[in-house]
Amino acid sequence: MNSSNWKGAWISDGKSMHEKALPYFRKEFRLDKKIKSARAYIAAGGLFELSINGQRISDAWLEPNYTRYDRRLLYCTYDITNAVSNGGNAAGVLVGNGWYNHQSTAVWDFDKAPWRNRPCFILDIRVEYTDGSIETISSNRDWKTSTGPVIFSSIYTAEHYDARLALTGWDQTGYPDTAWQQALLRSAPAALITAQNLHPIRRVEEIKPVSVRKFNDTVYVVDLGRNIAGVAKIKLSGAAGTVVKLRHSERLYESGRTDLSNIDVHYRPVGDADPFQTDIFILSGKGLEEFSPRFNYKGFQYIEVSASQPISITKESVTGYFMHSDLPAVSKLNSANPLLDKIWWATNNSYLSNMFGYPTDCPQREKNGWTGDAHIASETGLFNFDGITVYEKWLQDHLDEQQPNGVFPSIIPSNGWGYEWGNGPDWTSTIAIIPWNIYLHYGDTSLLAKTYDALKRYVNYIERISPDGICSWGLGDWVPVKSQTPVPFTSTAYYYTDALILSKAALLLGKSEDHERYAALAQKIYSAFNARFWNAAAGTYGTGLQTELSVALHWKLVPDSLVPVVAKALANRVIADGRQIDVGLLGTKTILNALSDNGYIDLAYELATRETFPSWGWWIKNGATTLFENWPINAKSDISMNHIMFGEIGAWMFKALGGIKTTEAAPGFQVITLEPCFPKKLNRFSCSHESVMGSIESAWERKGSSLQYSVKVPPGAIARLRVPASGNAGNSFIELGSGTHQFTWKNL
Tens digits of residue pLDDT in 56-65:
999 999 999 9
Residues in the chain: 748
Handedness of CA 104, 110, 113, 118 (dihedral sign): negative
Number of C-beta neighbours around residue 367 at 10 A: 24
Q: What is the CA radius of gyration of the chain?
A: 27
- What integer is the mean pLDDT of 76-104? 98
Q: What CA–CA distances, in Å, run from 451 to 195, 402, 430, 674? A: 18, 11, 11, 30
Question: How does pLDDT run across 26-56, given as a tens digit for each residue?
Answer: 999 999 999 999 999 999 999 999 999 999 9
pLDDT digits (tens, 9 = 90+) for 302-350: 999 999 999 999 999 999 999 999 999 999 999 999 999 999 999 999 9
Check if the beta carbon of residue 671 is closer than 8 Å to that of residue 611: no
Confidence category of residue 699, pLDDT binned at 50, 70, 90: very high
Measure the CA–CA gap between 445 and 450, rounded to whole angstroms.
9
Distance CA 72, CA 236 (A): 41
Q: How does pLDDT run across 371-413, given as a tens digit for each residue?
A: 999 999 999 999 999 999 999 999 999 999 999 999 999 999 9
pLDDT at 748: 87
Report how far residue 102's alpha carbon sits from residue 246's, in angstroms, rounded to the nearest whole number: 21
C-alpha span between 84 and 172 (Å, rounded): 11
Give the phi and the psi of residue 729 in degrees, each rounded to 5. -70, 135
Task: With CA atoms as reference, report the closest residue to 547 among 636, 597, 483.
Answer: 483
CB neighbourhood size of 505 (10 A): 25
Cα–Cα distance measured from residue 239 to residue 285, given in angstroms and rounded to the nearest whole number: 5
Neighbours of 130 (CB within 10 A): 10
Residue 590 has pLDDT above 70, yes or no: yes
Sign of torsion, CA 100 101 106 112?
positive
* Domains, the chain, with CATH or none: 3-157+164-198 (2.60.120.260), 203-325 (2.60.120.260), 536-608 (no CATH), 672-746 (2.60.420.10)
Residue 226: pLDDT band with limits 50, 70, 90? very high
What are 511-562's pLDDT values in tens digits? 999 999 999 999 999 999 999 999 999 999 999 999 999 999 999 999 999 9
* pLDDT per position as a tens digit, 701-712: 999 999 999 999
| Contact (CB, 8 A) for 522 and 515 | no
For residue 473, name the pLDDT band (cuts at 50, 70, 90).
very high
Which tens digit of pLDDT belongs to each residue from 592-623? Answer: 999 999 999 999 999 999 999 999 999 999 99
- Distance (Å) of CA 358 to CA 66, 195, 413, 629: 8, 15, 8, 19
Taking CA atoms, 169 is separated from 96, 142, 143, in Å, by: 19, 19, 16
**DSSP track, 430-450:** HHHHHHHHHHHHH---HHHHH
Residue 288 confidence (pLDDT): 98
In this predicted structure, what is the pLDDT of residue 431? 98
- Decide if pLDDT at 147 tops 90: yes
- The answer to whether the bond into 409 is cis (omega within 30° of 0) is no
Mean pLDDT, range 635-647, rounded to an integer: 94
Closest CA to 62 of 480, 402, 360: 360
Check if the beta carbon of residue 682 is closer than 8 Å to that of residue 336. yes
What would the mean pLDDT of 250-271 be, rounded to a whole number? Answer: 97
- Given this model, what pLDDT does residue 726 score? 62
Residues 6+ apart with CB under 8 A from 132: none
Residue 730: predicted pLDDT: 53
pLDDT at 191 over 50: yes
Paired sense of beta strands 134-138 and 11-12, if any = unpaired
Is 731 a residue whose pLDDT tops 80? Answer: no
Task: Provide the percentage of residues in the chain whose pLDDT is more than 90.
Answer: 97
- pLDDT at position 728 over 70: no
pTM over 0.85: yes
Cα separations in angstroms, 145 against 164, 295, 343? 18, 19, 50
At 727 the pLDDT is: 42
